[in-house]
Structure 1
Amino acid sequence: MASVAGGYLPILLFLFVALALSSAFVILPMIVGRLTGAHQPTPEKLSEYECGFPAFEDSRAQFDVRFYLVAILFIIFDLEAAFLFPWSVSLKEIGWAGWGAMMVFLAELGLGLAYAWKKGALEWE
C-alpha cells in the first residue's frame, strides 16, 4: 500500500508546485501594485472600456449581421490554418489519401469563401 501512495507523490508534488506558482503569479502583482502606489483608482480607471470611448448606447443594442459574418469567416479560416499545419507536417506519413482529403477540405473552404464574397459578406460600409 505504501508503494501505491509513493507513486502518487510526484503527481501531488507537481500539483502543489503548480498551485503555488499560479497563486503567486496572481497575488504577488496585486500586492506589489498596492505597495508601490500603482493602485490609485480614478473615475477614468473605474469606468467601462469597450472600444476606446465610453458607451453611448444601450448595451442591448443589436449589432449588424455583417459583423457576425466577418467574425464567423475569421474563425473558419483561422481553423483552416490550424488544420493545415499538422497536415503539412505529417504529409509524408499520410500519403495520397491524406493529400486528397485535404484538397477536398480546401475546395469546400474555397467554395464557402466564393459564396460569402458573392453575397457581399466581405463588404463593409
Structure 2
Amino acid sequence: MNQATDSLWPFVIYFLAVLLLVTTMLVLSYLLGQRRSNKATNMPFESGILSVGSPQIHLSAEFYLIAIFFVIFDLETVFIFAWAIAFFELGWSGFIAISLFIFILVVALVYELRSGALDWGIKTRTGLRQRELH
C-alpha cells in the first residue's frame, strides 16, 4: 500500500463507526420506544395549552426579503471582520480588495434603496390599493 491509501484508513474507520452508531441508535429506539398512541398524544400543544385556530400565519413576502437582506449583509460583516483580523498580513493589496468589496456593498445597498426593495409596510399597501382602484 502506498501512503495515500494509508492516510485514508482513519477516515474509513471513522465513517464506519458513525454508521454503526447511527444504526444502533435507530434500532434501539425502534425496539425500546413507546408503541401506544392515543388522540391526546397526537394533538399539538404549547406550554400545556391546546392550540386553537390554524397555525399557518400568512406573512407578506416583504418580511422574507428583509430577512434575506439581513443574512446577506450579516455574512458580509463576517468577511470584513476576517479582513480586520489579518489587516497587517494582507498589506495594501488586502486594503484595496476590501475597499472594492465595501464599494460593491454600498452600490448594492443604494440599488436596493432606489428599487424600493426596502420600502415595505403602509407605503406598499396604499400603492397597491391605488392601482386596484384605477
TM bin (shorter chain): 0.5 to 0.7
Q: Percent identity?
A: 29
Equivalent position to 2:97, from 81, 97, 101 = 101
Q: d(CA) in 2 for partners of 1:42 and 1:114?
A: 57
Deviation at 1:99, TM superposition (A): 1.5
* Closer/same/farther in 2, CA of residues 95 and 14 from structure 1, 3 Å limit: same
Q: CA deviation at 1:23?
A: 0.8
Kindly provide the amino acid, as one letter, of the partner of residue 80 in structure 2: L
Q: 1:52-110: per-residue Cα shift (whole Å, max 9, x none)?
A: 9369xxxxxxx966366435524532441342233222211221332132123113212
Over 6 Å off, 4+ runs: 39-43
**Does the residue aligned with 2:118 lie in a helix, a strand or coil?**
coil
Alpha-carbon RMSD: 3.7
Residue 28 of structure 1 is matched in structure 2 by 24
Count of equivalent residues: 109
Q: 1:53 pairs with 24, 34, 55, which one?
A: 55
Match of 2:126 in 1: none
TM-score (norm 1): 0.57
Q: Which runs of 5+ in 2 are unaligned?
A: 44-53, 122-134
Query: TM-score when scaled to structure 2?
Result: 0.55
The partner residue of 1:120 within 112, 116, 123 is 116
For 1:76, which of 47, 72, 77 is the aligned residue?
A: 72
Q: Whose relative contact order is higher, 1 or 2, with alpha carbons under 8 Å and at least 6 apart?
A: 1
Aligned-partner Cα distance in 1 for 2:37–2:10: 38
